Amino acid sequence: MNFSAVFHRATAPYSYALDTDTLVIKLQTDKSIDKVFIHWGDPFEAGILGGTEIWKGQKEEITNTTELEHHLWWEIKLKPPYKRCKYYFELHQDNEIWFYGEDGFTDKCKDNIPACFFQPWINPADVITPPEWVKKTVWYQIFPDRFNKCQNTTIDGLCEWKTGSVTNEQKFGGNLQGITEKLDYLSDLGITGLYLTPIFKAETVHKYDTTDYKQIDPDFGTEQDLINLVEKAHEHNIKIMIDAVFNHSGDKFEPWLDVKEKGKKSPYWDWFMVNDWSAIEKCRDTRDGRYYSFAFISNMPKLNTNNPEVIKYISQLCADWVENYNIDGIRFDVGNEISHRLIKEIRQKVHKIKKDVYLLGEIWHDSSPWLEGDEYDAVMNYPFKQAVSGFFEDKTQTSSQLEWKVKACMGMYRKQTQDVMFNLLDSHDTDRLITRVNNNQDVFFQQLTMLFTLTGSPCIFYGTETALEGSHDPDCRRCMPWNELNTEVYEQVKKLIYLRKNLDELTNSEISFKTISQNNRIVCYTRGNIEIILNCSDTDFELDNTEQVYFSRKLEKNILLSGGICIR
């Protein structure tokens, strides 16, 4: 037996409470293991053997397995009657039987069981319960300057609304009133959540260099414009999530200006991370270490989110945003660099005002430390994007390899967290989907089909519904082409969104992948009674049944052509 391939720890995602009655237990092994049993029970229940008290527990086979590229996950749900659980594993391989506990392996378990794993108590306060509404939300990300300009906008220095490439120096006048004017359009598309990139006062068009966290940027309007947007959006059953930039400020932020003027005498000195005051004005970047900033960008000094004063200031800001604007979510830019203490404080403050506010972190990697229930509800699921995009970019990958990567993404966190992960295929920080697939609409729609039929809360970038092009930042931030909407693409995206919202299986059912032996580039999986088939190969594929089809592309009778989609 390959002992080094066996892994378990009594923490998520290997052991956690799904609800106040249910534990999820998961064991990782290699693929050579034939059977796995779990011995489990209450820690305080014991029997007598030879006059000695000994704990045995009940034995139960684990039959639910998930295959990854190199491993198997064995998973079982238990309902401890007294909310406590003590357990160890029994592994079978050929003629070998080994017992695995917290202290390792033993092949002799008659009298001496291994040191058990423990879940001491299921405390309701420790059970993660993200906002239920997020699971059913279809998001739409908006870069405000480029989405829609209200007709009465009279800001000086604006560029004329255009199609084609843009730069970060250009401003086109998109604003909050412009978004409000398009709520009917968004509602018709099926959108139920808007994520707005930063809207508070800043120097740049992207607004990630905040100068005033308490003022709506005049380029976008006023506080009343935001209040109106939220009210009107709620009337359309659309939630609003705004962007919070707390890892760093802009260099025109008043506390930073005070530090630059007064040095260590400034009351805000400890709000930032300055290492060499004598060199603060030198160089264009911060590689010399004179102070810390976002990346090495000198006009984005890093806030010291360990400082109690900064924590108090920022957490109160978030509480004020929720109370004053009635927003439904906050997305945290560079969410892996601000302190855990700050996020915990923000969560406590905003939940006192609105219990189901969605807190989303921008983290591009394994985010387990931030997803323990007292910080973020979820993170932007860039690993999902990478898994899906990678399969279509690399024609040598098989559907099994895609399955393994998708399952690995889905198994990183608790199930309740996975249900509200913010799934996306492009954003203001990436090239646009249609550009990345070289304008291949077959691949474009196949990836969107996966976005809308897999676990998580799906988000499209503004313009995706009309196949808006754009390479990496800043080109991905083009103006919305209102006069040149691709209605054919729009209607098909609208159908996919409709299915996501109206077929309960696409949010509530487990995912089961199927292997098509005839062709290793046919992707096939089910959610409940719904089957999704993508022909990602170069040859046509015959389906056995096309009586009830919810959505299709390139399906001719029962033949799914190369590049085709069938949801049935």
SS (H, E, C) 494-560: HHHHHHHHHCCHHHHCCEEEECCCCCCCEEEEEECCEEEEEECCCCCEECCCCCCCCEEEEEECCEE
Q: What is the Cα–Cα distance from 366 to 390, expressed in whole angstroms?
A: 18
Check residue 149 and give its pLDDT: 94
Name the nearest CA neighbour of 326 among 412, 419, 223.
223
Of 432, 436, 453, the closest CA to residue 495 belongs to 453
Active-site choice (75, 90, 217, 333) = 333
Count of residues for the chain? Answer: 568
Cis peptide before 13 (omega within 30 of 0): yes
Taking Cα atoms as reference points, which of 212, 186, 187, 183 lies closest to residue 198? Answer: 212
Residue 181 a catalytic site member? no
Give me the residue label for tokens 């080109």.
Answer: 475
Mean pLDDT by 10 residues, the chain (568 residues): 96 97 98 97 76 80 96 98 96 95 84 86 96 97 96 80 94 97 98 98 97 97 97 98 98 96 94 84 80 94 98 98 98 97 98 97 96 97 96 96 96 96 97 98 98 98 98 96 97 98 95 92 96 97 92 96 98
Greatest Cα pair distance, the chain, in angstroms, is 91
162, two tokens: 């255009």
SS3 assignment, position 457: strand
Helix (H, G, I), strand (E, B) or coil at 211: strand
Distances, alpha carbon 442 to alpha carbons 108, 437, 532, 536, in Å: 57, 9, 15, 9
Q: Which amino acid is at 419?
A: D
pLDDT at 50: 55
pLDDT of residue 283: 65
Instruction: Check residue 46 and give its pLDDT.
Output: 77
DSSP string of 157-169, one letter each residue: TPPPP-SS---TT
Considering 243, 362, 403, 442, which one is annotated as catalytic?
A: 362
Q: How would you label 123-157 residue by residue, b for 16+ Cβ within 10 Å and e otherwise?
A: eeeebbebbebbbbbbbbbbbbbbbbbbeebeeee
Write down the pLDDT at residue 254: 98
Render 89-127 in DSSP notation, one character per residue.
EEEEETTEEEEEETTEEES--SS-PPPPEEE----GGGS
Task: Report the pLDDT value the prediction gives residue 155, as an integer from 0 to 100.
Answer: 76
Q: Specify whether 362 is catalytic.
A: yes
